[in-house]
A and B are shown apart, each in its own frame.
Chain A
């Protein structure tokens, strides 16, 4: 079964607008972490934001926020005030503490920001 699901292969957003990238996950592990990474065309993986399974509040990092809905097992990334430099692939990932302790990635969403 897919552990991490990203249903949006591609998204478009106009500059300065907000965009939400979807991510759902599947785990029976009570302790897990959810991560979002950005991968520009150059290939490097840039860590954006993290949410722990026990965190009560949604994580925020500058223009990035994570809409964590534990009951729905979703961890959507919200990018506010999009910039042209935000155009990239975005990957949702999960690390289960007890089950595998490995970082497993979703299939990614390609975000294109247009002027």
Chain B
């Protein structure tokens, strides 16, 4: 089945650091990628949708200058948390959808990244 790889799995860093998270589709071309954020014991909240070669579309309330998304190729999207602070600590998980995917196809998820800002 389709595989989405997310890296790194864990990040612990100091406040003020910028952190980059990669999301790769390993065996299909991901025309659309989604970035979700999940706080402990809560649901996944969609942050933004990115289409290959175009700017990401951010959900209401998500700071686009804080969470930079790049989807430069059909297999790679990156989320950069700029100048991270403790309140940015969370579980970030990406998801990818292939070309021509319709409602009958499930979105494939990476394994997530646990970000802890000290």
Chain A hits for B109, CB < 8 A: 37, 44-45, 47
Q: How large is the interface on B (under 10, 10 to 19, 20 to 34, 35 or more residues)?
A: 20 to 34
B34 touches A (CB below 8 Å): yes
Given contacts A102-B46, A105-B44, contact A47 B106 (CB under 8 A): yes
- Asked if B108 and A47 make an inter-chain contact with CB atoms under 8 angstroms apart, the answer reads yes
Q: How far is the CA of A67 from the CA of B118 in the complex (A)?
A: 45
Specify which of A45, A95, A104 is in contact with B93 (CB 8 Å cutoff): A45
Return the contact of B49 from the options A32, A91, A102 (Cβ within 8 A).
A102
A33 touches B103 (CB 8 A): yes
Contacting pair B112 A103 (CB below 8 A): no
- Is B106 a contact partner of A108 (Cβ separation < 8 A)? no
Give the residues from 53 to 110 in chain B that come closer than 8 angstroms, CB to CB, to chain A: 91, 93, 95, 102-104, 106-110
Q: What count of chain A residues pass the 8 Å CB interface test? A: 23
Contact A106–B114 (Cβ < 8 Å):
no
B106:A44 contact, CB within 8 angstroms: no
Interface residues of B (CB under 8 A from A): 34, 42-46, 49, 91, 93, 95, 102-104, 106-112, 114
Known: A91-B44, A102-B46. 14 other contacts (CB 8 A): A33-B104, A43-B93, A43-B112, A43-B114, A44-B109, A45-B44, A45-B93, A45-B112, A50-B104, A95-B103, A103-B46, A103-B95, A105-B43, A107-B42
